[in-house]
Amino acid sequence: YIATLASRPWAGRISDRAGAKVSVGWGMAACTLSGVLLVAAAALHRAPWPSLSTLVLSRLVLGVGESLGSTGSTLWGITSAGPEHTARVISFNGISTYGAMALGAPLGVVLDQQWGLASLGLLTILIGAGSFVMASRKSPVHGAHGEHLPFSHVMLRVAPHGMGLALGGVGYSVLATFVTLFYLSRHWDGAALCLTAFGLAFIAARLLFIHTIDRFGGFPVGIACLAVESMGVLLLWRAPLPWVAFTGAAITGFGFSLVFPALGVEAVKRVTESNRGTALGVYTAFADVSFFLTGPLAGAVIGVYGYASAFLFALVSVLTALGIVLVLKQMQERGMGNKGLGARD
């Protein structure tokens, strides 16, 4: 997350200026290099410090590759399909990402147990190199030409939407990080089922309701989703029984599902087409910040008040995100009203 966060703005600039295909190509090359370094770390296992240093370097390179690949592929999809399909492209990108995470985690455990750490590196090389070849064979889609805004200007325009995303993502971050320990503290079984319920509800909501963003707009959908997510986190906080926590996890996933594309559509609208890659990079960086900081912040709360308090922390965060999106919607309506008044005048 450190490497991904630090490289997001750079990845956006490359996508805007050199093209999304270049960003994806560099990203897949970095992921392939990460696999090579992972194999090297496994080969150096008898030398602890060189092995650990190589392993950390592998993770940092992978973070940069993820940033370049995800930002570039999202912009590539938007440019290919057209700006009117931004919500769908962002949504399907998220389904691919979370689907890969859901598949990769258990697969990685099996590979490590059967053949060791080097097998993970070899699979990473295979996937990264295969993706590089696949991307290189696709025709580039040229983006719009125009003035490239200074990074600070893009940041100011996208930051409110990013803050809503970051705070809305705390529910997922807390669930993924602490649900196992929460279940252990209650002497319950089946913590993994909560993550399964979250993932299935997340994907189902994206597949079933992604069209609502085009129909009703990003802010109304974001408001509805954050309200639903807050109810799920509330159930997790007050859950007296495992099935209540399971239900809360599913509702949390269902609600959080469309927050990213809903606010992302509105964030991209704040800049010209020639700055969309930078806007996507900045916007996504707020999600990285959320995932990076939630663990230590919620952990500090847990240290004082216990594991259930992590979900109260998440509830406050999600409700704050809801307040931000409500304000943004009011500002948008006020701006549209002023434009309409000016037209009549």
Exposed/middle/buried for residue 133 (C-beta within 10 Å: 0-12, 13-18, 19+): exposed
pLDDT at 339: 53
Nearest alpha carbon to residue 307 among 171, 172, 174, 168: 174
The pLDDT of residue 282: 84
Reported as type and span, the H/E element at residue 56 is helix 48-81
Q: What is the pLDDT of residue 332?
A: 86
Of 310, 8, 325, 292, which Cα lies nearest the Cα of 163? 325
Intervals of the chain under pLDDT 70: 102, 142-148, 336-345
Looking at residue 176, what is its pLDDT?
86
Average pLDDT over the chain reads 88
Report residue 239: phi and psi, to 5°. -60, 120
Q: What is the pLDDT of residue 293?
A: 86
Residue 231 CB coordination number (10 Å): 15
The whole-model pTM stands at 0.78
Query: What pLDDT score was predicted for residue 201?
Result: 92
CB atoms near residue 101 (< 10 Å): 11
H helices of 239-308, in order, are 242-256, 259-268, 276-305
> What tokens does 242 get?
């495992």
Name 3's Cβ contacts closer than 8 Å, sequence gap at least 6: 59, 60, 61, 62, 63, 64, 67
For residues 180 and 119, is the Cβ–Cβ distance under 8 A? Answer: no
pLDDT at 186: 92
> Cα-flanking dihedrals φ and ψ of residue 132, to 5°?
-60, -45
pLDDT digits (tens, 9 = 90+) for 184-234: 999 998 887 888 888 889 989 988 998 899 899 999 999 999 999 999 999
